[in-house]
């Protein structure tokens, strides 16, 4: 048995935009034929802006806020985990924001979500063009990576991952997307899990799932069942669709 898990933003949809019509048609059919879970750093409201309701109803479940919230196929919340960050974190992030050389700051820089804090220099009020401009600038200057290192150096109980194009996700160590993988794996130990994400590199918010897969491959149960799990890095939703099409043409 195969179980498919997907990141959303940048993997199934364009960044911070709704799923395209062609992808919706293809993926809805895919979800009806396969066991599918969604795993995202975004909150539930943002998921509903990007993913059509018929797809949310067709998947087995949706993990939001990096696995800290879980909704079933009927949109019922199964669980929500709390996060009580260090009281000095907010001031620390505001100091980083003030010191950033990036000239455009649009507002909504610190967003508290269940189980995590999302932090963005350009701000979540940015337009699509401002989002793309910052992403291009960050690709050269690596500001988000520097921010990640600063936070982790000063708050050793926290972990930080790059999320999407413009932000970093801050959460307690272990409160990341691996939670979703571990829950699905524990419930389906004889299944092979295939995960697709655009942030599978070290420091990305999909990386914890890959890391959890590596750990699972060394556990006693996995050696007995010999059922491998796989992580597929993608760069956009078009590549995801093409990969899935190719996968089923070859099977």
Catalytic residue positions? Answer: 7, 9
Strands 192-197 and 2-6: parallel
Alpha carbon distance 45, 245 (integer Å)? 29
Alpha carbon distance 104, 117 (integer Å)? 21
Three-state SS sequence of 94-108: HHHHHHCCCCCCCCC
- Is the four-CA dihedral 192, 198, 200, 205 of positive or negative sign? negative
Alpha carbon distance 65, 231 (integer Å)? 20
């Amino acid at each position: 048995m195969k179980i498919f898990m997907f990141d959303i933003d940048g993997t199934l949809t364009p960044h911070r935009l709704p799923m395209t019509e062609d992808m919706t048609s293809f993926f809805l059919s895919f979800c009806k034929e396969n066991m599918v879970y969604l795993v995202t750093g975004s909150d539930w409201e943002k998921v509903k802006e990007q993913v059509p309701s018929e797809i949310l109803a067709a998947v087995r479940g949706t993990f939001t806020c990096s696995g800290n919230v879980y909704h079933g196929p009927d949109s019922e919340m199964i669980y929500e985990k709390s996060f009580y960050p260090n009281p000095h974190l907010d001031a620390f992030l505001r100091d980083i924001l003030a010191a950033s050389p990036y000239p455009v700051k649009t507002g909504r820089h610190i967003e508290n979500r269940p189980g995590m804090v999302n932090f963005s220099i350009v701000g979540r009020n940015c337009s699509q063009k401002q989002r793309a401009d910052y992403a291009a600038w960050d690709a050269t200057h690596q500001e988000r990576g520097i921010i990640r290192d600063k936070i982790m150096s000063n708050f050793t109980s926290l972990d930080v991952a790059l999320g999407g194009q413009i932000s970093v996700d801050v959460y307690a160590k272990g409160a990341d997307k691996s939670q979703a993988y571990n829950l699905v794996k524990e419930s389906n130990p004889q299944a092979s899990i295939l995960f697709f994400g655009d942030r599978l590199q070290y420091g990305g918010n999909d990386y914890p799932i890959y890391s959890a897969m590596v750990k699972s491959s060394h556990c006693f149960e996995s050696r007995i069942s010999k059922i491998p799990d796989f992580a597929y890095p993608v760069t956009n939703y078009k590549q995801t669709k093409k990969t899935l099409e190719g996968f089923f043409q070859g099977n």
